[in-house]
Structure 1
C-alpha cells in the first residue's frame, strides 16, 4: 500500500496530536469500570467538543455513541486514533487507521520493545510500516496524550478522574506513563495549570526531542517539564532545547540515574570518570535545560523559571541571596541547603543597614535577616522592597514561619505587596513556607511569587535558575575539520605513536617522540627521555612495567629497553609490541587530563580533570559536549579545582591558561573526524607550563 496520509511534522503534528477534531478510540469498552472506557468518559467530563468514534467489535453502542466494529468501517476520516487492543492486533489497526486518514496513532498497547527479543523486532516493523503509510506513532506502551485546554484526553491515566483540570502554561513530556499522572496530580496540588501532557512510551517514532520542538511553537505552553529515564534522540533534543531557550520557554528536567555510573563504562580513565549520567548532565546544561535534583523542585521551579529565566543575571561567581525571615530555624534549613548548592546567603552591607535604620527598620549584619520580633508588616514590606532595589544581592528569599499558616496577613501579605517591585526590577523574589500553609501558598501563587514547601527544592531551584543563565546566550562551536592520518587503523585501539599522530592532526601539542626497535635504538630526541613500550594491546603502560623515566643517555636507554621488553613479555605475553617510544621529558607546573568519549546517549563528550595515575581518585572533573567553544573551555578550567594551583593560588607561578583553553578546543574537535568514529581518546597527563601546554601520554580507541 502506498502512503495514504501526509507525514505530519511541526504544526500539522501538533494539531493532530493535541487538538484532533475526529478521534477513534480503538478497543473502547462499554463497561465504564474498565480502563478502556476511560478516554471517552474523560473527554466527556472535561469538555472535548470534537467527534469521537468508539471502535468495539462486539457492541453497536458505547456509552450512548454509535460504535463501529473496525476503523475501516468509519463513515469519515479521522485525525487521531488511540489504540487499546492487544499488541498482536495493532499492525492491522494501523493499516486501517492509515486508510481513514489518521495523521497520528497513539498505541497504549504493550508487548513491544519493553519485552526485548521478538518485541523489539515487532516494534521496529510497526514503526517502519507506519512511516511507509505516512502515519506518526506515539508509543507503543504510551499511556496517552492530554490537551487540557481543548479537553482532548486520549489517555487511561486514572488521575484524569479529577473533577476539573486547571488550564495553564505548563506542558509535560514523560518517559514514564505512571509518572505522567503523578506530575499532573502534584502540580495541581500546588495550584499549577497545565497545557499539554504526553507519555512517549517506547518512542518508536515520536520522541522527546520532537515533542519539545513542537511545544516551543505552542502558544499555550510557557514552561516544559521533562521526566526522563534515558535519552534516545540527542541529535533532535539538543537543537530543540536551544530553540526553547531562544524562545524564552524554560525546559525543566528530572532524570533518573544520578547514582548509576553508566551502562557502558570503557576501559580508559575517561570511561570510568565520565559515566552516562555525568555526560547527560553536561548535555542538558549546554543546551540550556534546567536539571533538578529533587522531584519536588520540578514543579516548584516552574513559576520561578517562567517569571525570571530571562532577567536573572549571568554571573561568574556564586549567586548572592538575601534571606529575610520570621523564623530563624526555618531560614537556617534553607541557608544550609543553599550552601550545598553553591548559592551564598549574604549579609547586608553597612550602608544598607544605615539606610534601613533611617527608615526605622533595625537589622543586623548577618546572612539571615531575622524580623521575628522586630518589625511590623509595613516595615517587613519596606525592607523587602528596598532589598529588591539594591545591588548587593541577586535574589531575595523570604522565609515564613507559623504565621504563614495562621496569620498570612502578617508574614505573607508583605511579600505579596512587595512583588510588584520584583516584577519591575526583574530581581527574583521567592518564598519558603516552613509550615504546611495552603492558603498562603495560594496567595503567593496568585501574586506570581514562586513558593517552596521544602528547603531542598528551594535551594535546588535557585541553583538551577542561575546556572541556566550562564548558557542563555551560548553559541554553538563550529569545529575545524580534521583529516584522519593516512595509514592508521579505522577500528580498535591505536598505539601511542599512532594516537599522537591523531592529536597532532587536531592541533593538540604532544611532546616530541620517536619510535625505535629492539634492534636499533637510534633516535634524535634530546635527553633526558622517557622510554615506553609501544603497543596497540597495552593502553596503560605503567600497570605492566612498561615505562622508564629519566633515561639520560644511549647506554641507559639500551638497559631500559631490555627491562621494558622483559617486563611486558612477562606480564602480557600475547601483546603485539611495535617497539620502544622515546619521548622528551617535559617540565610542568600542573598535571591535568583531557578525555574524549562518544557517549552512547548524548554523543561526543570532552572531559578535563586532575591528571596522572591518580586521576580516578580525585574526581575533580568538568565535562562538556564536543565541540566546545573557547569560552566553554575557560569555564571547564575554572570548574576543575586543581587548576587553582596555576591561577594565582597563594602566589604560586601562573600557568598558561589561555594555551590550555585553546588545547581543549582543539582536542574537542576530534568530534569533527568524519572518516572514522572515535570512541575514546585521552591525553594523560597533559602538562601545563608557564609558556604553553604539552601532552605526554596518548590513547585513542576507534569504532
Structure 2
C-alpha cells in the first residue's frame, strides 16, 4: 500500500488534471518533463476536450482511469478545484498538488476559498500541497510534477540534496544555480500557500528518504512550528544536515510587538532562535545555501559543542589579494585568520618549506604541488587552528594541477573543516572539487558565511524541561497585571524581587528601610515614567507622604480613566549594571526568552540574546556570554565582578513562565534587573495575558 511519503515524493501513478497539448503552455510542461527525463511510472493526462496529448492517451475525467492514482497534479482555474476533489478521492489519490492560484494569496475571499478547499480535502481523506504550488520533482525517478522551467534542462543531475521552498520561483533559480555548479538533487518541493502539507511534513518525509542526505530550506516565514520541530529533531538524529536561507523580518512580529521585548526581538530573531535550537545551519548568502552542502555533509557531526570566542582559521593562498578579501570577511563574521606558531614553522622548514609568521600563509610561486599537499595535511592535523581555508589564484583557472590536484589528493581530516575559495572564475576546478565532496566557494562572502555558520553553535540546545505551575486564582487571567501582581508571579518562579509594599488609602504603613522608590501601581499605566508617576530617593516619611498624594494625581492627569491600585514602594537597590529579561509567546515559534542590556540602553542600542523557552542554567550562561553589556560585570578593565551564577539562575527561573497553567502569558518583562556583587534583584516588570 502506498504511504503518504511515497505518494508525495515518489508516486508511481500520476494524474495531470488540466494537461495541455500546447507545448507553449505551462500546463503542458509536467508531461513533457517526465517523458524527457525518463519517468517510467504511469501518467494519465486529464482533459475532456482532447483524446490525445503530446502522443499520450488523454482521459476525460479521473473517474475513467483504469487504476488507482497516487498523486494528482491540478492545473485548472482555481474556481473549479474544489469540485474535482471528490473525484480525486474516488480515484484513490493520497496527495493532490494544486498549481492553481486565486486562494490564500488573493486576499480575504481567496483565503475563504482556501479554507473551504482544505476542509473538503480533509473530509475526503486527501492531503493538499499548495495551492499556488509550482510543484515538486524526484530527479532519481524522473517524476516531475512541476511547471518550473528549470526542468527544461537537457539533463538533470540526480544527487543527495533535497530542497523545500516556500517560493516556487526561487526554487527554480536555486536549482539552476546549483546544477550549474555540479550539485545533484534528489527531491525538490514547492509548498505554495502551505494550506495543508507544511514544510515540516515534507522535511519529515525527506528524513526517511534514502536518496536524501542533506535538506535545504528556502523560507519566507514559519508555519506549523511544532510539526517542523519534530521533523528537524528527526533529521538531526538521522545525521542529515538541514541548511536554511530565510528572508527578512516578518511584519507580523512588528505588529504584535507590545513591549521592549517584542520590539527588540521581532519575528525573525525568534525564527532564528528556533532554527538554532534545532541545529539548522542558517546561512545569510543565497549561494551559501548549496555551496555549504559539502561542508555540512562531510563535517556536520564534527561541529563543536560550543563556539570559540573567535574560531581560528589557517589560511593558505597562492593569491595575496584574493586571500585578503576572504580574511576581511572572516573578521566581519567573528573568525580569525591565525598565524602559524614557531614550532610549526620549524617543522615545515625541516621539510623544505619556509614560512613566515603571518596570518596568511602565502605560497605564491613558493611551493611545488607536493609541498602544498604536505603543508595542507600538516595544517589539517595541527592543534592551533580550527579550520583550514585554501585560497586559489589563477592557477585554479589555467593550471588546476598546481593547487586543486593537491587538494584532491591530500589526506583529509574527519574533524577539521577544509574549505576552498577560488578567486578566478574556474568552473572546471569547481566541478572537480564538488565531485570530491570538498566545499568550494565562488565568492569570499559566501566562504566566510559558510565557515561562520558552521562554527556558530550558540543556541543549539532544545528548550529545557518545563516546570508546570498553576496560575494563582487571586490574579486576573486577561490583560495586563499591575507591577505588584507581576512581582509576585516572578517571585514564585524564583526570581529575586526588591522588597516592596503596596500602599493604599487603607494601608499607609510599611516596614521597608529608606531610601525608597515610589511608583503608581496601575494596569492602565505600564510605563510610569512617562506619566510622571515615579519618585526615587525618598529618604523619610514626609517625602513618602508627599509622593502618596502627588503620584496618583499625576497618573490621573496623564490618563483620566486609569484605575489606580495604589502606590508601590520599594527599598532602593544598589547595582553594578542593569539588564532586561523578556518573555514572549511568539506567534510563529512559541515561548521565547530574551536577555539583554536594560534600561534606556534596551531601546537605544539593542544588545541581547534570544532562546526558545524555557532554558537551563547552562544555556542561560551562554546567553550571558553573548551579550556585550555583560562585560561590565565580568571584571572588564578592573570593574567589580557581578554574580553571574545568580544571574543565570534568574534567567532560567524567569523562562519557566512557559510552564504556567491556567492563564496564557503572551508577554512578560523585567526591566531593569539589577546585577549586584552578591545576587540579582528585579526592580520593575510587567506581565500581559490574553
Paired residue for 2:103? 112
Q: Does 1:206 align with 2:197?
A: yes
* Residue 553 of structure 1, CA deviation: 2.0
1:684 aligns with 2:652: no
Matches within 5 A, 1:278-317: 278-317=269-308
Is 1:445 the equivalent of 2:434? yes
Q: Given the two structures, how large is their TM-score scaled by the length of structure 1? A: 0.96
Tell which deviates more after alignment, 515-524 or 129-138.
515-524
Give the match for residue 364 of structure 1.
Answer: 356
User: In the alignment, which of 528, 533, 558 is matched to residue 546 of structure 1?
Assistant: 533
Cα deviations by residue, 1:231-250 (Å, 9 ceiling, x for unpaired) = 01111112221221121111
| 1:264 alignment partner, SS class | helix
What secondary structure, in the 3-state scheme, does the structure 1 residue paired with 2:120 have?
A: helix
1:647 Cα shift? 1.6
| 2:574 is the alignment partner of 1:587 | yes
Residues 1:315 and 1:666: Cα distance change in structure 2 (over 3 Å) = closer
Unaligned runs of 5+ in 1: 1-5
1:638 to 622, 625, 634: 625
Counterpart-to-counterpart distance in 1, 2:600 and 2:506: 31
Q: What are structure 2's unaligned runs of at least 5 residues? A: none
Following superposition of structure 1 onto structure 2, how do residues 480-499 of structure 1 map, counting pairs within 5 Å?
Answer: 480-499=467-486
2: CA distance, partners of 1:316 / 1:429: 17
1:658 to 636, 645, 652: 645
CA contact (8 A) 2:140 2:158 kept: yes
Q: 1:27 to 1:259 in 2, by over 3 A?
A: closer
**1:648-695 deviation line (CA, Å, top 9, x unaligned):** 212322211111111111111111122121111000110111221110
Q: Does 1:454 align with 2:473?
A: no
- Counterpart contact for 1:627–1:671, Cα < 8 Å: yes
> Once the two structures are superposed, what CA deviation does each residue of 1:427-457 show, in whole Å capped at 9, x if it has no partner?
1111000110011111211222110000100
Inter-partner Cα distance in structure 1 for 2:303 and 2:386: 8
Give the 3-state SS of the residue equivalent to 2:456 in structure 1: helix
Q: Deviations over 1:293-339 (max 9, x none)?
A: 11011111111111111123334412110000000110010011011
Aligned to 1:555: 542
Alignment counterpart, residue 171 of structure 1, candidates 147, 162, 169: 162
1:78 alignment partner, SS class: coil
1:40 aligns with 2:31: yes
Change (3 A) 1:263 1:71: farther
Aligned CA RMSD, in angstroms, stands at: 1.5
1:375 equivalenced with 2:367 (yes/no): yes
In structure 2, the residue matched to 1:478 is 465
Preserved CA contact (<8 Å) 1:105 1:136:
yes
Map residues 22-41 of structure 1 onto 2, 5 A cutoff: 22-41=13-32
Alpha-carbon contact 2:254-2:263 (below 8 Å) kept? no
Instruction: Give matches, 1:324-343, under 5 Å.
Output: 324-343=316-335
Q: In structure 2, the residue corresponding to 1:29 is in which secondary structure?
A: coil
Could you tell me how far 1:614 is from its partner in structure 2? Answer: 2.9
Does residue 219 (structure 1) correspond to residue 210 (structure 2)? The answer is yes
1:608-642 residue CA offsets vs partner (Å, 9 max, x unmatched): 01111331112111000111122211100000111
- SS in structure 2 of the partner of residue 550 of structure 1: strand
Would you say 1:529 and 2:516 are equivalent positions? yes
Q: Is the 8 A contact 1:399 1:433 kept in 2?
A: yes
CA distance in 2, matches of 1:134, 1:667: 43
> What is the aligned partner in structure 2 of residue 3 from structure 1?
none
Indicate if the aligned counterparts of 2:221 and 2:246 stay in contact, CA closer than 8 A: yes
Structure 1 residue 75, shift from structure 2 partner:
2.0
In the alignment, the residues of structure 1 paired with residue 177 and residue 519 of structure 2 have an alpha-carbon distance, to the nearest angstrom, of 60
Are the counterparts in 2 of residues 518 and 580 from structure 1 also a CA contact under 8 Å? no
How has the CA–CA distance of structure 1 residues 316 and 152 changed in structure 2, closer, same or farther, with 3 Å as cutoff?
closer
Q: Aligned partners of 2:271 and 2:463: how far apart in 1?
A: 17
- TM-score normalised to the size of structure 2? 0.98
Q: CA deviation at 1:518?
A: 4.1
Using the alignment, how far apart are the partners of 2:225 and 2:178 within structure 1?
27
2:340 is the alignment partner of 1:348: yes
Q: How big is the shift at 1:475? A: 4.9
What's the counterpart of residue 119 of structure 2?
A: 128
Listed one character per residue, the Cα deviations across residues 481-517 of structure 1 (whole Å, up to 9, x for unaligned) are 1221222111111110111122122222211211111
Whole-Å separation in 2 of the counterparts to 1:283 and 1:651:
37
Query: Any conservation in 2 of the 1:239–1:287 contact (CA below 8 Å)?
Result: no
